[in-house]
Structure 1
Amino acid sequence: MPDRTVGRIYADFMKDNNITADSRLQVQFIEDPDLAYVMQRYREVHDLVHATLFMKTTMLGEVTVKWVEGIQTKLPMCIGGGIWGAARLKPKHRQLYLKYYLPWAIKTGNNAKFLQAIYFEKRWDQNIDDFHREMNIVPLTKA
């Protein structure tokens, strides 16, 4: 994929983190096939959210993504991940989290289009800046 496309950003994210689209285990303990599919899709989209929000898989990046997801989905596991993950941040990252990442995550979670409903697979060749504009995502900037 060309540089600055959703597909390239996702592929680079996957390569950098040594994972594949099939790395996620199948959902367990959900008997209803429709609900199981929704949770499986959540798992698949999670990595796409990381990539398109430019959030690394560090504790700080994970907590930030969990807040965006928690605000949008209201899933207890996302909200819990945001709360309990933030409690584990080291002082330096906690300062960055409180000053930049958390306010940005709250704004993004509230203002962006519902990320779980995006058909990412049809957007591989879309420029990331156009994607951000369409989804109402303002990338995080630190002053």
Structure 2
Amino acid sequence: MLGSARVRLNRWQQVAVAVGSAAGALLDPSRADLIAALGETTGMPAFERVLKRMKRSPEGRAILLEQPRVISVNVGYAWDLPENTFGAAYAKFMGSRNFSPDDRPPVRFMETDELPYVAMRAREVHDFWHTLFGLPTNLMGESALKVIEFEQMYLPMCLMSVIGGSARFNGKQRKLFFQHYLPWAVRAGMQCTDLMCVYYEQHFHEDLDYVRRKCEKCNR
């Protein structure tokens, strides 16, 4: 169960939150709470499609049934796994950046029983995807990952993040992104397995390259 209180919004309030969040996130892309609010208020149809796909997948159904949370108490053992494993690679990614899995903002603007968990799961597996694709957390890497997330989930927030992020590139970065990162990210997002239907925690002990091969062409 998700422990945070959720806020009931009418249609106009959803529009107001979405517009305000979008404006704030463009001014300060580090505001994870604003990006989260934008995703929730604009992403209902996308999350509904993801939910349907998860219900058709054996691993997806297991995730929905057990509702695992990517929080320190559940994934802390990854720091003790062998170096070649997916779990160890995730732990190294998080530790090298001083990230905590507990830092994700809660879901606030979804009222149904299942969609808040799907939205939270999408938020919490973001760092798993960084690990799988070997993408850095700079503006270029985050923008490329948002392209993959859009291809996987069709969340409007992802597309808006790419537009906002690319507007901040200098000339050299913009050329590199549109000539290399963007085409690669589009292909990767289309060719990979349904990444929301992967029970990542059950693959922590597996070899990183093996997990990448199972997810299909997750290497750059």
Same fold by TM-score greater than 0.5: yes
* Structure 1 range deviating more: 91-100 or 62-71: 91-100
Tell me the residue number matched to 1:54.
134
Pairing 1:137–2:137 present: no
Q: 1:33 aligns with which of 113, 121, 127?
A: 113
Q: Does 1:23 align with 2:103?
A: yes
Task: Specify the code of the residue in structure 2 equivalent to 1:42.
Answer: A
1:82-128 deviations in whole A, cap 9, x for unaligned? 22212221222212212211111011000000112110000001111
- Does the C-alpha gap of structure 1 residues 55 and 68 become closer, same or farther in structure 2, counting only changes over 3 Å? same
- Higher gyration radius (CA): 2
Q: In the alignment, is the contact (CA less than 8 A) between 1:71 and 1:79 conserved in 2?
A: no
Paired with 1:119 and 1:21, the residues of 2 have a C-alpha distance of 16
- Is the helix fraction higher in 1 or 2? 2
Greater shift, 56-65 or 96-105, is seen at 96-105
SS at match of 1:101: helix
What does the per-residue CA deviation read over 1:5-27, in whole Å, with 9 as the maximum and x for residues that have no partner? 11011101111221222111211
86-95 or 31-40, which deviates more: 86-95
- Greater displacement, 51-60 / 75-84: 75-84
TM-score normalised by the chain length of structure 1: 0.92
Q: Percent identity?
A: 36
* Aligned twin of 1:107: 187
1:64 is aligned to 144
Q: Which runs of 4+ in 1 moved over 4 A?
A: none
Alignment TM-score, normalising by the size of structure 2: 0.61
Q: Structure 2: state its 5+ residue gaps.
A: 1-80
User: Given that residues 68 and 108 in structure 1 are in contact (C-alpha distance below 8 angstroms), is that contact kept between their aligned partners in structure 2?
Assistant: yes
